[in-house]
Amino acid sequence: MLDRTKAPEVYDIDTISLQQGQVTNLPNGANLHIIKSETQPVIRLDFVFKAGKWYDQQLGVSDLTAKMLFEGTKSRTAKQIAETIAFYGASFESNHGYDRSEFTLYCLAKHVDELLPLVFDVLQNPSFPSQEFELLKERTIQGLKVQREKNNYLATHQITKQIYGEQHPYIYGFDETAFDAISLEQIEAFYKQHFQVKGLEVFACGSIDDKTEQLLISGISAMQSDEEIIATAPTYTINSASNKYELVHMPESIQSSIRVGKQFPVIQHKDYLKLILLNEVLGGYFGSRLMRNIREDKGYTYGIHSAISPKETDTLFYIGTDVNSAVTANTIEEIKKEISLLQQEEIPEDELQTVKNYMLGKFLNDINTIFDQCDRYKRLVLYRLPVDHYSNYVATIKHTTAQELLALAKQYLSVDDLYISVAGPNS
């Protein structure tokens, strides 16, 4: 019988063993990664193309192209696509990113045979109907107008402009007129150039039997691209703004959205994993220093966080919060104070151990399901990380010292290097 007077034993985490994909390199240049699990009768498929914002010749084209694939094929209307997905209780949607565009299907394993023909039809045979394009464009423009009324959207958009420059693809969001001049011809051209089968990464996880595996191999092998079109990726330079502080004037607002940030090393850099630990101490979880100071002590905000957002060629570090406009300047000063403290004093051992325990426990919780593990494996593939990356993550969290974090804070968190944007009233 369970003795509830005794606490469960605590075990130290030594190494992490995640499932690795079974990889099939197909003759057309696509790669299929399969991670099998019989615990639940469900399947997830991710089709990942090198067709993100980075490849835009005109900003917004890649975003609309990804959405247009669901607006009809040569044999199915948009309504028929949506009704079929709904009939089988599945989900099929796109996720347009900075570097890539992903198309994800969730379904019961017993329905995958019926759904795969639709998935391949959507990805390979879009019809780009003009009427649906105009409606999609109108909806997207209206949605952008709504987003641009929000302080947090404008503050994040502005700070990424300051850090990367006016025309860089890693800018968050879009300007007001981004979609106005995009034509259907540009959408079709982008699809032909960048939705190439060569370099396509397909990740299949869940209850995948031999029959489903063969269906995937044959279906992906049959996918084709226009061989006469050679897709090239644009090159970009980072032109950071000289002005470290920008105000997006929102005269009717009673709140200010604050963003503080800068560039960080890429995910493959030797300091990256240690910086994740440093960020957690600063503002990465509910008990962080920023939360204790600016929420709990000062009462300026309901929440404040700091985050590290990696891309394929760069990484963004940023702090975000919303406050009453009257305490905007005070909040910025408190943020700077907390960063300066990290550069002046070693983190106390008990505080650092608490953060380490939290991070390790959260990591274990975040790899509970087969979908979670596939996400981790997918990151290894797309970011070209070593197979022992997550074991290194655990070891780094466990063994990084307060002295090392102090040195990293001095190297990477100079207050003079930080960019600040505020969206709110001019207070």
pLDDT cut 70: percent of the chain above it: 96
Q: What is the total residue count of the chain?
A: 427
Give the pLDDT score at 228: 60
Tell me the pLDDT tens digit for each residue of 201-232. Answer: 999 999 999 999 999 999 999 999 876 666 67
Amino acid at residue number 89: G
In this prediction, residues 185-195 reach a mean pLDDT of: 95
Q: How many angstroms separate the CA atoms of 240 and 242, rounded?
A: 7
Q: How many angstroms separate the CA atoms of 218 and 136, rounded?
A: 33
The three-state (H, E, C) secondary structure of the chain, written as one string: CCCCCCCCCCCCCCCCCCCCCEEEECCCCCEEEEEECCCCCEEEEEEEECCCHHHCCCCCHHHHHHHHCCCEECCCEHHHHHHHHHHCCCEEEEEECCCCEEEEEEEEHHHHHHHHHHHHHHHHCECCCHHHHHHHHHHHHHHHHHHCCCHHHHHHHHHHHHHHCCCCCCCCCCCCCCCCCCCHHHHHHHHHHHCCCCCCEEEEEECCCHHHHHHHHHHHHCCCCCCCCCCCCCCCCCCCCCCCEEEEECCCCCEEEEEEEEEECCCCCCCHHHHHHHHHHHHHCCCCHHHHHHHHHCCCCCCEEEEEEECCCCEEEEEEEEEEHHHHHHHHHHHHHHHHHHHHCCCCHHHHHHHHHHHHHHHHHCCCCHHHHHHHHHHHHHCCCCCCHHHHHHHHHHHCCHHHHHHHHHHHCCHHHCEEEEEECCC
> Rounded to 10 degrees, what is the CA torsion of 163, 168, 170, 176?
100
Asked, colleague to colleague, whether 22-221 and 245-424 share their fold, the answer is yes
CA nearest to 144, candidates 104, 172, 173: 173
Give the pLDDT score at 427: 60
CA nearest to 230, candidates 198, 275, 259: 198
Give the pLDDT score at 235: 84
Tell me the pLDDT tens digit for each residue of 381-394. Answer: 999 999 999 999 99
Give the pLDDT score at 231: 66
Q: How many angstroms separate the CA atoms of 96 and 197, rounded?
A: 17
Q: How many angstroms separate the CA atoms of 282 and 290, rounded?
A: 6
Q: How many angstroms separate the CA atoms of 340 and 298, rounded?
A: 18
Average per-residue pLDDT for the chain: 94
Task: Evaluate if residue 21 carries a pLDDT over 80.
Answer: yes
Give the pLDDT score at 390: 94
Give the pLDDT score at 2: 61
Task: Evaluate if residue 171 carries a pLDDT over 70.
Answer: yes
- pLDDT-derived band of residue 10, with 50, 70 and 90 as boundaries? low
- Structurally, what CATH architecture does the domain formed by 22-221 represent? 2-Layer Sandwich (3.30)
Please answer whether residues 351 and 278 qualify as being in contact, where contact means their C-beta atoms are separated by less than 8 angstroms: no
Domain coordinates in residue numbering, the chain: 22-221, 245-424
- Structurally, what CATH architecture does the domain formed by 245-424 represent? 2-Layer Sandwich (3.30)
Tell me the pLDDT tens digit for each residue of 255-293. Answer: 999 999 999 999 999 999 999 999 999 999 999 999 999
Q: How many angstroms separate the CA atoms of 128 and 16, rounded?
A: 46
Give the pLDDT score at 26: 96
In this prediction, residues 97-109 reach a mean pLDDT of: 97
φ, ψ for residue 204, nearest 5 deg: -120, 125
Tell me the pLDDT tens digit for each residue of 355-373. Answer: 999 999 999 988 989 999 9
In this prediction, residues 10-24 reach a mean pLDDT of: 78
CA nearest to 179, candidates 156, 148, 222: 148
Give the pLDDT score at 227: 64
Task: Evaluate if residue 17 carries a pLDDT over 90.
Answer: no
Give the pLDDT score at 135: 97
Give the pLDDT score at 9: 62
Q: Which of 1-15, 117-131, 232-246 has the lowest mean pLDDT?
A: 1-15
Task: Evaluate if residue 334 carries a pLDDT over 80.
Answer: yes
